[in-house]
Structure 1
């Protein structure tokens, strides 16, 4: 039987920061703690929150990871010791791959801050998590593989996952996570200890203007000042369209889509505020605020395709020509929203 390699300080210092946090989370799980590794905690300057229950009494600790080669000084102790008062926890644990200065150790002793240096950490890992064996060894404590996939998504208070779908966006494969507040596009890569999911793109649901649906594609139209079109494809296209349609009350409170038309890589978009022409994946090429439109007329005739002439009052009188299918419907919808504006 081959002898299992021991963890060393040098090995820990070379570990990827993301994997180092994952390693600490698994260590504390194997020690019997319930571990929370959420982006919400990181927003408050925290890497992990660990809890353990003894006969009905729950003890909660904040864990801060410092994957350093240089020593950790008193400044870090003072910075993180205050978290135990702000977050109403029992104490703070600072873990480093290096060591703590004498002043840092004295400061920690005064403020109930527990310190784990590189040598102690390596010893703990060799006892609870031998190198090469990252499986959860504590009965009844959920391990990495037992957690729901959405637990690694950046969720806010009151946010709930609605669906996870595999899609193609600009020829790249993503997991599209739809919540009641956000749309995430995530990629999965293999890490040292586990599969790592990274959020490559996030669209706030309130910034979604609407969706344009075609037989093979679904286009998300989003933005505030500048609009962006995200072309999606995949087997779950229709399901995604249905979910986003059901979520319309969450994003139609402000600017929202009235009509849209696509020709090759160009898209014409009518919202309740403006008429926009843009190239998919690029910036807006033309924008007309509905409040500036003073006149419209359908032009055309024999052997000529109908087009809509739009007169805009902006630094003088400007004329624009719009060519889309069902031009009379577009004219009607523009007129209706011009009156509102």
Structure 2
């Protein structure tokens, strides 16, 4: 296994060096965000960590230098702490710092990471990174597109959560970013090799989530519907993140309501009603444009049932067993009226 060295780091171009630092801090438990390259106003990476409800924010400046970093650079970046009102500033360099630079940093709560310390950190937190990411001083295109399994974040992509979850009967590591969801199957034996990313789901592909007390069902796809029944000890954290990401996938088809009856899941989107099994196999599909009527049918001591009529060929009535059929009726009528 190749180890990180200063020579490796000096062979990476400045932009790739920033991406590498972002991945390093992400593996250390921070939420990271790369700023826009060449327009970063002195800030390359923003890192955040939460402890007991308190958020601590640091700015990171990357210096891929072969010569020492002097007091002028340190003094310049010390003002960022006050300008952006953050907890502190970190300068990570591939070289050393002058004595004057270290004294200046101590006065302004700047943390300095020199080349030797950076190499130690990379070999500890990214032990496979040198082999997977750097080859003859360059990164592959694939590595710059993905995270996990040897890949790294895109510029502006931030890790929101990283958990071991159960999907169906198998364990996966799920990594959520502000752009993608990555699934990596967990090894089941002592001698199993860690696998690469098995699936990437773009946030814009999400229709929504169906929530239950002990799991969520992630629903994705358009023509090819796919469902992921996810269980986790930190389920509430995942649900909160999915809800926060909702504005990102509201632009396309998205989930408005869902109701499960046994293995059957009925979902209402802004475009259609779908009845599917948990595997995602569509059993019934009703397009809003073809709906001509919605009514409730029931009786004494009998639960109301939702009846939706459409004119796909001839007028057909579809009986749907959903929770809160009155709410469903109102929502379907609203969807049809807004077409």
Q: How does the TM-score come out when normalised to structure 1? A: 0.58
CA distance in 2, matches of 1:248, 1:317: 35
**Corresponding residue of 2:287:** 289
CA distance in 2, matches of 1:54, 1:160: 29
CA distance in 2, matches of 1:269, 1:313: 20
The alpha carbon displacement at 1:153 in A equals 4.1
1:8-47 equivalences under 5 Å are 23=1, 26=2, 29-30=4-5, 32-34=7-9
**Corresponding residue of 1:247:** 245
Q: Which runs of 4+ in 1 moved over 6 A?
A: none
**Corresponding residue of 1:206:** 204
CA distance in 2, matches of 1:31, 1:231: 45
The correspondence for 1:264, drawn from 262, 265, 283, is 262
| Superposition CA RMSD, Å | 3.2
Structure 1, residues 284-304: CA drift from partner, whole Å, max 9, x if none? 111101111001221111243
Gap change, CA 1:157 and 1:255, over 3 Å in 2 = same
The correspondence for 1:141, drawn from 101, 105, 119, is 119
CA distance in 2, matches of 1:156, 1:144: 22
Give the match's secondary structure for 1:235: coil
Structure 1, residues 127-186: CA drift from partner, whole Å, max 9, x if none? xxxxxxxxxxx8752544323996634533321111111210011111110000001111
**Corresponding residue of 1:319:** 317
The alpha carbon displacement at 1:257 in A equals 1.0
Name structure 1 gaps, 5 residues minimum: 1-22, 41-51, 57-137
**Corresponding residue of 2:278:** 280
The alpha carbon displacement at 1:31 in A equals 7.2
1:185-224 equivalences under 5 Å are 185-189=183-187, 196-224=194-222
CA distance in 2, matches of 1:190, 1:214: 27
The alpha carbon displacement at 1:274 in A equals 0.5
Give the match's secondary structure for 1:305: strand
CA distance in 1, matches of 2:256, 2:204: 16
CA distance in 2, matches of 1:213, 1:190: 28
Give the match's secondary structure for 2:153: coil
1:33-182 equivalences under 5 Å are 33-34=8-9, 54-55=66-67, 140-142=118-120, 143-147=122-126, 152-182=150-180
Structure 1, residues 211-250: CA drift from partner, whole Å, max 9, x if none? 1111111111111223222100111111100011111111
Name structure 2 gaps, 5 residues minimum: 17-63, 69-115, 130-146
CA distance in 1, matches of 2:298, 2:187: 55
The alpha carbon displacement at 1:203 in A equals 1.3
Gap change, CA 1:226 and 1:188, over 3 Å in 2 = closer
CA distance in 1, matches of 2:66, 2:227: 53
- Asked if the contact 2:185–2:195 (Cα under 8 Å) also holds between the matched residues in 1, the reply is yes
- Asked if the contact 1:32–1:141 (Cα under 8 Å) also holds between the matched residues in 2, the reply is no
**Corresponding residue of 1:92:** none
Q: How does the TM-score come out when normalised to structure 2? A: 0.59
The alpha carbon displacement at 1:329 in A equals 1.0
